[in-house]
Each structure stands twice: as structure tokens, then as C-alpha cells.
Amino acid sequence: MRGRGPALVPGRGELSQTVVDALRGGRPPRYSPDTVARADPWGEDLQLALYLLYELHYRGFHEAADEREWDPDLLRLRRILETAMLDALHDELRGGPDSVAEAFGPLLVESAGPGGSASHHLERRGTLWQLREYAALRSLYHLKEADPHLWVVPRLTGRAKAAMVAVEYDEFGAGRAEDVHARLFADLMADLGLDPAYGRYLKHAPAPLLATVNLMSLFGLHRSLRGALVGHFACVEVTSSPGSRRLLHAMRRCGAGPAAERFYAEHVEADAVHEQVVRREVVGGLLADEPRLEADAAFGCAATVLLEERLDAHVTAAWKRNESALRLPLPPPAG
């Protein structure tokens, strides 16, 4: 059976093109070990190849059979690419935090300075075209918001499991389809004149954005990385409320529309509560049950901060040059 997901996009190098060809042609991927060895772990080619392979575990692609999700040849290639990304993360974070207190401490205090993140830029002097770019970029994450974090639920017990499910229940609209956070983000995109279709802006997304989405898929799909996924989830929740407040101000200042404002207003309130539950019950419960996973949780947090800072640097550097942060320009909004 063919998938119901978005269309495949052109490759950005030998690795990603071999994945595209394998999915379209229903055949094994053709690559050499030298190709993988030469690939930049943070480059466009490897990150797109990994994203395409991970997407088979979400909605797939309409040119690829659903059965390719567990194709052993594709899984073998995915594992090679994952290893390259994990090795690069461990190299860059060598000497980094190995305790939860050390990893999360700096995130609990808002800097009094101007800040260098995309949300700081958008709040102070962002323009409507920059808000549209930011929403198009983040759509690859927010239209699957909370999905990869659900993979950790069967791997948790007791306090951690109960608290994780409670937070995820809110993320999925507390039983109301119209309040699912991914739906709220789709409504935000419509307010900004963007196409809210799932995966629509994959071909626009640069490697630094793909890496942030690949990180949560990597952590989510491996039981051995459950501590890192909890660290990633906690990092997202701890930093979400302040960033959402800045983006809410930016949306209001630029007249982005009521749905655009609602998405971030919802996150200002909900994630301020979620932060406490995640830190005390999800992280605290996990470490009470499995104290040996503390270094993994710290690594998950540090890896998230590293890749988010890299994405912020990419986006703000382009905007300061008055250039697009996307690989391809967005079409103008209808009307």
C-alpha cells in the first residue's frame, strides 16, 4: 500500500538522492561506505537523507509503500547515518554537563541581555516576511508536535509514565481535535498565508532545521536513548514559555492574526505548568527509577540546546543580511 504522506523532495547529494531513488523505485538504497564516511554529519545531504528515512515512521510519502518503514536495507543505512550524527554530537559535547542540575540550571534563568535567538529578533524588530519564514521552518516540528515523545511512554514506569501522559494529553488537545497543538499551528500558518499541509516546506528547510527535527526522532526511536529523549522533552518544555511569550508579542506587533496569536498564547500558559511537571515528575521520576540515566538526560538537554542555538545562528545571520533563511523563497501570501 502506498503512503498518504507528502511528496518526496529532490536529493541534496549522493546519500539523500539514493534514499529518494530507493523509495520511489521500491529497491534497496545504493551507496558505498566511502560516501557515508565523507559526508558532513551536519550537512544538507546527510541530514535530508536521515529525515527522509525517519519520516517513514510518521506519515511516509505517497510515492513510497508503507511496508518500506521496516525495510532492512533502509534501516541499515539509517543506522549508519544515525551513528555519524550521534558521534558528532558526542564529540561536540565532550566535557559538557553530566548531571540534570548542570544541564538545566542555565535554562531556568532568563538572560537580562538582548539575547541572540530568533524569537528575540522577531520580538524586537521582526517583520511579517520573517515571521512567515519562521513558521514555515518550524512547521516540520510543530505539525508533528509531541508525536515522537509518545514513543517513550511504554519505556517509562510509575511517576515518569503518569506525568508524561498527563503532559502529552494537553499537547493533543485534552481530547478535543480542534485544540491539538499541531492543529493550532496549522491554523497559525493559514493566518500567515502559508500552506498548512504536513511536510509542505521540507524542500525549503536547511540542514540546521532538519537536524533539530532529526534529533527528537533519533532519541524517540531508540529505547536505549530514552533518557536522552526525556532530557530533550524537558528542555523543550523549560524553554517554551519564555520563547512563546516573545513570539506572541511579535505576532501581535506585526498583525499576524488571531490564530497566529492563539498558538503562542496557549504555549505561554500551558508550558509554564508543564515545565514544573516535567522537571519534577517526568525527569525526577525517571531518575528515581533509573538513576544511571542521569547523564543521558543531561546529554539530551545539551544536544537540544546545541542544535537550537545553531539554528538560531543560521536564521538570524541571514535576516541581519536581509536575506532569506530558507533554501527556497516562499511564495507571497494569497491576497
> What are the tens digits of pLDDT across the range 110-163?
654 456 799 999 999 999 999 999 999 999 999 998 899 999 999 999 999 999
C-alpha cell at 320: 541581519
pLDDT of residue 108: 80
Domains of the chain, by residue range, sit at 14-92, 100-320
Provide the 8-state DSSP code for 223: G
The β-bridge partners of 2 are 65
Cβ pair 208, 310 in contact under 8 A: yes
- pLDDT band for position 2 (cuts 50, 70, 90): low
Q: Count Cβ atoms below 10 Å from residue 306 Cβ, excluding itself.
A: 17
C-alpha cell at 64: 513510497
Over residues 84-110, the mean pLDDT reads 93
pLDDT of residue 109: 72
Cβ pair 86, 40 in contact under 8 A: no
pLDDT of residue 113: 45
Indicate the CATH number of 100-320 among 1.20.910.10, 3.40.50.410, 3.30.310.80, 3.40.50.620: 1.20.910.10
Residues above pLDDT 90, as percent of the chain: 87
pLDDT of residue 333: 83
pLDDT of residue 112: 42
State the average pLDDT for the chain.
94
Max CA distance (Å), the chain:
56
